[in-house]
Structure 1
Amino acid sequence: MDRQRRPVARNPHIGPGDSRPLKSAQQINSPSEQPDCEDQTLVTRNHEVIRRWAEQRGARPATTPFSEMNGRLGNLRFDFPGYGGAILQPVEWEKWFDTFDARHFRFLYQERHPDGSRSNFNRLEPPRDEL
């Protein structure tokens, strides 16, 4: 099987278990809320905000093959156009959000880079007491 390596949409300045971006992230609770600054890290659990962010970038909900356990998705991902989605398995939004909610994840993301270009940065964070 020919597998392509998928670029990781993570901030290279964040190490494993580093909660700095979450502490300084602006909470967004609805699609009508706007960030104070477009290049800052944002955090939400709102399904509409997450879905809108992904769809604006052409990203679709996905998981990694064979990661499902007990009827729940294993790894939640977004399949961005042109980033090796052949190794990802598409899933329905409802199933993606069911897993997101069951794990009490928070969605960290960014709208724009400091230069104004659109950012694909995103990361799922576990509940705060697990950090």
Structure 2
Amino acid sequence: MSESVRTTDHKKIQKWAESRGGVPAKIKDTGKDDADGVLRIHFPKNSDNDDKFEEISWEDFFENFDDNKLDFLYQDKKADGEQSTFHKFVNRE
């Protein structure tokens, strides 16, 4: 059985993403101005839609993450034991 974990720990989030080839990104044209946009961890090696993502710095990513009071929900492994890239951003409780 796979288990999800919830965190706001910047180092833990960055380590999880980078160990899977993920980079901080936002979806283009989803914000009110250049600083805004829907956050994502983008996995370029697993994606055919690179043109819809804009890679951003970890500093900008976490500033947006904290400003919007988000939590990071993620899985380490899939039910079959394989490494997982499942994640999503949820509102902090």
TM-score between the two structures when normalised by the length of structure 2: 0.88
CA deviation after TM superposition for structure 1 residue 70, in Å: 4.5
CA deviation after TM superposition for structure 1 residue 56, in Å: 0.6
- Counterpart AA for 2:46: G
2:71 match: 106
1:33 match: none
2:39 counterpart of 1:76:
yes
- 2-side partners of 1:82 and 1:120: how far apart? 10
2:67 counterpart of 1:89:
no
If you compute each CA radius of gyration, which structure gives the higher value, 1 or 2? 1
1:21 match: none
SS in 2 for 1:72: coil
SS in 2 for 1:61: strand
Gaps of at least 5 residues in structure 1 are: 1-36
Give 1:1-131 correspondences, 5 Å limit: 39-70=2-33, 72-80=35-43, 81-83=45-47, 84-128=49-93
- Counterpart AA for 2:8: R
CA deviation after TM superposition for structure 1 residue 120, in Å: 0.7
What is the total number of aligned residue pairs between the two structures?
91
- 2-side partners of 1:79 and 1:85: how far apart? 9
Runs of 4+ that moved beyond 4 A: none
- Higher relative strand content: 2
Gaps of at least 5 residues in structure 2 are: none
TM-score between the two structures when normalised by the length of structure 1: 0.64
Contact between 1:65 and 1:87, CA under 8 Å: does it hold in 2?
A: yes
Q: Over aligned residues, Cα RMSD in angstroms? A: 1.6
